């Protein structure tokens, strides 16, 4: 099909427990995105804008996309909020691409945002819970860590070595986060520390979980035929798949496979006409360490259970055969819900322009970004190539 869209600019705040409120976070990410466009981008050229946010804590549940217009100097253009839980960002990128394809805009702004740390723990649990199944999960007391704990137990029961592989995912992603100045955590942890950490939802411990973070990210997407007006080094989106599944995990035939990821991945690879072996690195949705193992299998980079040996072999470390989450992933970079899917594409943009500094994947030509909502209920997969 060829290029579907070009990324010509991108911005990112720090992720973590931040003093700034939602508006300031948005403004910082968007200003950075505009400033990053090599030949400049007039705000007046932006024809449409999308905001990915869960609206955590209820800071502005309804009509929140107008705040993106206000903080971007784009009041007047159509703005739309996209909400698909933790996959809001991936679906907002998809909405932006489709808006470009409609042909009415040359340039589209896609931003993602969440402000989470200003709530106390019980309210945080409530706001995370609203994206899960209510009847069978939430009201039974299952948190997301609880659901992923059940998935991890089922996976570990079938596949020996899985617990060590999960610890390796955390150790690797924390090591990667050390080289990302925007990451929530920039400190290394060993596999032993991961295994010894306090239990959150057996077998998952504190260091198997992504944190609760504040942050924002923004992208400027251009029509591919206009990309060179903005930069000599655009990054092209070549394939984009999206899918959904039943909300409650108990409704699924096998909890260790995410059908939404599988469908979205197949669609993206088919559209991009790219083989798995051509992908230089992955940004996958590791909200809990088990999720990175599932992603490798559901995306077709490993067979059932094979993500264990692949991970333990070091193949997914920087310098390995297929680096995964060079920015630290959700585990170490942080997971401000609506910002995550946009942040993954920010990393792709840096890496494919060879601008990722100490965490640069040498010679990266192509990349995959994978964003999941809830425990596999919604998913997007995108494939990118350097221009
Ligand atoms: N990884 C590493 N360290 C973490 C951490 C994490 N995920 N979460 C918290 N910490 C650290 C904090 O930095 C703090 O360290 P300090 O004492 O040195 O300052 C300490 O642990 C306690 O932090 P606190 O915020 O009190 O932890 P908590 O017990 O309230 O929360 C979790 C821990 C794991 C329950 C919470 O991070 C969580 O809910 N994560 C999952 C979020 C989620 O479900 N997102 C959606 C995914 S689908």
Strand pairing partners for 378? 244, 373
How confident is the model over 286-304, as pLDDT tens digits? 999 999 999 999 999 999 9
* 97 has pLDDT over 70: yes
Assess whether pLDDT exceeds 80 at residue 239: yes
Our count of domains for the chain comes to 2
Share of the chain above pLDDT 70, in %: 100
On whether both 158 and 60 belong to a single domain, the answer is no
Mean pLDDT of 17-39: 98
Ligand 1: distance of its center to the CA of 209 in Å? Answer: 7
Give the domain CATH number at 91. 3.40.47.10
Q: Is the pLDDT of residue 1 over 60?
A: no
pLDDT tens-digit readout, 38-91? 999 999 999 999 999 999 999 899 999 999 999 999 999 999 999 999 999 999
How far is C-alpha 59 from the chain's CA centre?
22
Mutate to test the pocket of ligand 1, among 151, 212, 287 (most ligand atoms within 8 A of CB): 212
Residues 127 and 195 occupy one common structural domain:
yes
The angle, 0 to 180 degrees and rounded to 10, between the axes of the packed helices 144-158 and 289-298 is 60
- In this structure, the residue with its CA closest to atom 36 of ligand 1 is 211
Domain span including residue 317: 122-210+238-386
* Residues 11 and 128 reside in one and the same domain: no
Long-range CB contacts (within 8 A, 24+) of 29-34: 29/111, 29/113, 29/216, 29/217, 29/218, 29/339, 30/68, 30/71, 30/72, 30/109, 30/111, 30/218, 32/218, 33/9, 33/109, 33/218, 33/219, 33/220, 34/9, 34/220
Judge whether residue 334 has pLDDT over 70. Answer: yes
The verdict on 222 and 363 lying in the same domain is no
Is any atom of ligand 1 closer than 6 Å to the C-beta of 144?
yes
> Ligand 1 pocket, 331 CB below 6 A?
no
Quick one: 88 and 205 in the same domain?
A: no
Q: Give the residue whose CA is nearest to atom 1 of ligand 1.
A: 207
* 96 and 173 fall within a common domain: no
> Are residues 286 and 365 both part of a single domain?
yes
For range 197-225, the mean pLDDT: 98
**pTM of the predicted model as reported, rounded to 2 decimal places:** 0.98
Is 155 found in the same domain as 9? no
* pLDDT tier, 305 (very low <50, low <70, confident <90, very high otherwise): very high
pLDDT one-digit tens code per residue, 98-111: 999 999 999 999 99
List 39's β-bridge partners, or say none: none
Of residues 3, 86, 159, 370, which has the active-site annotation?
86
> In a 10 Å sphere around its CB, with 0-12 CB exposed, 13-18 middle and 19+ buried, how is residue 275 labelled?
exposed
Structure tokens belonging to residue 331: 């585990």
The rounded distance, in Å, linking the Cα atoms of 97 and 106 is 11
pLDDT for the residue numbered 13 = 99
User: Do residues 94 and 156 both lie within one domain?
Assistant: no
| 307 and 368 belong to one structural domain | yes
92/63 same-domain check: yes
Position 2 scores a pLDDT of: 79
Indicate whether residue 210 lines ligand 1 (CB < 6 A).
Answer: yes
Within this chain, do residues 309 and 217 fall inside the same structural domain, yes or no? Answer: no
Nearest atom (ligand 1) to Cα of 144: 44
Which mutation among 18, 201, 211 tests ligand 1's pocket best, with the greatest number of atoms within 8 A of CB? 211
- Decide whether any atom of ligand 1 lies within 6 Å of the 287 Cβ: yes
Verify whether ligand 1 is closer than 6 Å to residue 212 (CB atom).
yes
Closest ligand 1 atom, residue 131 Cα: 48
The mean pLDDT value of the chain amounts to 97
pLDDT tens, 138-193?
Answer: 999 999 999 999 999 999 999 999 999 999 999 999 999 999 999 999 999 999 99
210 is catalytic: no
């Amino acid at each position: 099909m060829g290029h579907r869209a070009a990324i010509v600019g991108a911005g990112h705040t720090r992720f973590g427990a931040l003093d700034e409120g939602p508006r300031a976070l948005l403004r910082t990410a968007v200003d950075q995105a505009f400033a990053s466009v090599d030949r400049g981008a007039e705000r007046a050229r932006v024809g449409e804008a999308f905001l990915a946010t869960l609206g955590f804590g209820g800071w502005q549940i309804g009509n929140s996309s107008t705040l993106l217009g206000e903080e971007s100097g784009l009041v007047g253009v159509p703005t739309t909020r996209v909400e698909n839980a933790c996959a809001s960002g991936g679906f907002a990128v998809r909405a932006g691409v489709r808006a470009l394809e409609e042909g009415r805009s040359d340039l589209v702004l896609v931003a993602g945002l969440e402000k989470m740390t200003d709530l106390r723990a019980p309210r945080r649990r409530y706001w995370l819970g609203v994206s899960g199944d209510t009847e069978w999960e939430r009201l039974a007391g299952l948190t997301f860590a609880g659901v992923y704990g059940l998935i991890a137990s089922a996976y570990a029961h079938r596949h020996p070595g899985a617990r060590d592989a999960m610890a390796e995912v955390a150790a690797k992603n924390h090591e990667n986060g050390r080289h990302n100045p925007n990451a929530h955590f920039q400190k290394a942890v060993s596999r032993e520390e991961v295994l010894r950490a306090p239990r959150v939802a057996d077998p998952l411990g504190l260091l198997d979980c992504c944190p609760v973070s504040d942050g924002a990210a923004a992208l400027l997407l251009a029509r591919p035929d206009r990309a060179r007006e903005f930069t000599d080094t655009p990054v092209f989106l070549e394939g984009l798949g999206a899918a959904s599944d039943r909300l409650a995990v108990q409704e699924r035939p096998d909890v260790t496979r995410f059908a939404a990821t599988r469908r979205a991945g197949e669609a993206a690879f088919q559209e991009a006409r790219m083989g798995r072996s051509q992908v230089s690195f992955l940004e996958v949705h590791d909200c809990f360490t088990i999720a990175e193992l599932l992603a490798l299998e559901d995306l077709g980079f490993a067979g059932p259970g094979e993500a264990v040996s692949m991970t333990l072999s070091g193949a997914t470390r920087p310098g390995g055969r297929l680096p995964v989450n060079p920015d630290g992933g959700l585990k170490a970079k942080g997971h401000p819900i609506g910002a995550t899917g946009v942040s993954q594409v920010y990393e792709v943009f840096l890496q494919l322009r060879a601008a990722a500094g100490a965490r640069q994947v040498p010679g990266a030509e192509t990349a995959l970004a994978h964003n999941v909502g809830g425990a596999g209920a919604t998913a997007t997969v995108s494939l990118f190539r350097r221009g």
